[in-house]
Amino acid sequence: MGSVMPAADHVVIVGASGAGVGTALDLRAHGHAGRITLIGAESHLPYDRPPLSKGVLSGTQEFEDIALTSHEELAEKGIVCRLGVAATALDLAQKTVHLSDGEDIDYGTLVIATGASPRRLPQFDGYGNAFVLRTLSDAAELRRRLTPGSRLGIVGGGLIGLEVAASAVNLGVTVTVIEPTEQPLANRITPELSAWLLEQHRSNEVNLVLGASCTEIVADGREITELVVSDGSRVPVDVVLISIGASPNVEWLEGSGVEITNGVVVDEYQQACEDVFAVGDVANGFHPGYRRHMRFETRANATEGAAHLALTLSGTRSAYVPVPFFWTDQFGFKLQSFGMIGPGDEYDLAWGELDSRKWGLVGRHNGEITGFLTSGFGPQLAQHRRELADAIERTVVSGEA
């Protein structure tokens, strides 16, 4: 391999993501004086990804609006940022990360923050108008093609797919979503809210094809012109988005000795093995409250996980016990989900009405709050969040799940 940088107290962070840059900046904020190197496969400075399907796609936000840091801030904090270079392998015995440019970097502490990438469908490979949405470049090319009157077919009705549908309709695009389940997001929100969300899309003229899948592609050269659906319908398209979830970016860790099961397996302190930690979408962490390993693909987890890991690496060691949280912005409303509402939980409308844009729905099991969902910022949101955090903490203390 190439040259080797000495380790000393060197913290190497692989992944210039929200979690990666957050860990670096938070380490400096807590007084870490050693070397920090941040490695990013993209050529861009770290940026916020949630706006890609919303503000960036709609044209209301540019890179400057979503950048998480600047060259000036990194220089001021003494953080070396290696952009446009990917980690290709890890040698635990030598404590060395191998890079795609042939260089080896030795670490004292390694933080894995490589995130997750959209799953792809092989039948769409090689077509110039079939996309996934993960990077700024993806969003820019998708935005360029989504002109008024164009036709977008979205394969998959998850959060990203529905957010892109909402953004595209507002651009004057004809949108069809093909989703194999009858109730998108049924594993993340209640059936009632799934129905409510679908109605928001229908009322905004999004075409929803539910309980069906794309079985065939009709193409003209390298451009897809039509999607054939299992229900017998045919969807004419100018652009296709594949949105069927994401897989953790762990390929470079294969054979390293780091345990990989649905991401990098870490304990409640976000530690994978000696001097190796993982944070953000790539981490499959043990949650002391739910008493099982869980991987959260949310911006909140990236931010909170980075802040907590920086404290741990600075000498303040405590278990990471996040309150699961995600949000989505569609058609002018903000839907937020806190905690984890189970299928056997009882639901209570705490404020507002579901046919309005401001409401709160609380889930409880045996009288104990398990989660809540809101649209807008209702008067009891802060109260319920404290109640949920206290309930999770009581579970940690009691050792019950």
* C-alpha closest to that of 266 among 325, 302, 319: 319
- What tens digit of pLDDT does each residue of 210-222 get? 999 999 999 999 9
pLDDT band at residue 3, thresholds of 50, 70 and 90? very low
- Above 80 in pLDDT, residue 377? no
- What tens digit of pLDDT does each residue of 294-320 get? 999 999 999 999 999 999 999 999 999
- What tens digit of pLDDT does each residue of 228-242 get? 999 999 999 999 999
Ordered by where they begin, the domains of the chain are 4-117+247-313 (3.50.50.60), 120-244 (3.50.50.60), 332-398 (3.30.390.30)
Arithmetic mean of pLDDT over the chain: 93
Residue 47 is predicted with a pLDDT of 97
Residue 4 is predicted with a pLDDT of 37
The percentage of the chain sitting over the pLDDT mark of 90, rounded to a whole number, equals 81
Residue with tokens 């209301």: 60
- What tens digit of pLDDT does each residue of 57-70 get? 999 999 999 999 99
**Mean local confidence (pLDDT), 142-168:** 96
Residue 5 is predicted with a pLDDT of 37
Spatial contact of 117 and 247, defined as CB atoms under 8 Å apart: yes
Spatial contact of 162 and 179, defined as CB atoms under 8 Å apart: no
174 HSE (CA, 13 A, CB side): 7
Per-residue HEC secondary structure of 28-82 comes to: HHCCCCCCEEEEECCCCCCECCHHHHCHHHHCCCCHHHHECCCHHHHHHHCEEEE
Residue 8 is predicted with a pLDDT of 56
Residue 2 is predicted with a pLDDT of 39
Spatial contact of 239 and 128, defined as CB atoms under 8 Å apart: no
pLDDT band at residue 400, thresholds of 50, 70 and 90? low
* C-alpha closest to that of 163 among 57, 280, 68: 57
Neighbours of 11 (CB within 10 A): 24
- What tens digit of pLDDT does each residue of 92-119 get? 999 999 999 999 999 999 999 999 999 9
- What tens digit of pLDDT does each residue of 183-197 get? 888 777 888 888 889
What angle, rounded to 10 degrees, do the helices at 18-29 and 299-313 form? Answer: 30
How far, CA to CA in Å, does 375 sit from each of 74, 245, 352?
Answer: 37, 24, 9
Torsion over CA of 185, 204, 327 and 177, rounded to 10 degrees?
40
* C-alpha closest to that of 183 among 173, 199, 194: 194
Least confident of 141-150, 167-176, 192-201, 254-263: 192-201
**Mean local confidence (pLDDT), 32-48:** 96
